[in-house]
Amino acid sequence: MKMKTIMLVCAAGMSTSLLVMKMKKAAEAKGLETDIFAVSASEADSVLEQKNVDVLLLGPQVKFLKNQFQKKLASKNIPVDSINMQYYGMMNGEKVLEQALSMIG
C-alpha cells in the first residue's frame, strides 16, 4: 500500500498540529504509512505546488475556503473537505484519519 499524504489547512497551522500528532498515532496503530502535516491557509498554495498530496482537509476556521480549493485542485484530482467539527473539537485523530482515508478511496 502506497504512502498516503494528508494535508490539513487551518488559519495559522497551530491548532491542527495537535490533531496531526493524534492522526499520526492512529495511522501508526493501523500500520499505515502516512505523511500527515498541517499548514496555514496562506502557505497552502505554495506547498501544493511543491508536494503531491492525496487529500486536503480544512480546519473549521477556514472551511469557507472549500470551494476555492476544490476549483484549484479539481484538475489534480485531489479531494477537499472540511474536518468534521465534532472530531476537530475533540481532537479525534482516528476519526479525522478515517475521514481522510475514505476520501482517498
7 vs 55: CA distance, rounded Å:
6
Catalytic residue among 6, 8, 9, 10: 10
Say whether 71 is catalytic: no
Q: For 23-40, b where at least 16 C-beta lie within 10 A, e where not — what string?
A: bbebbeeeeeebebbbbb
Helices (H), 11-84: 15-29, 41-50, 66-73
Catalytic residues: 10
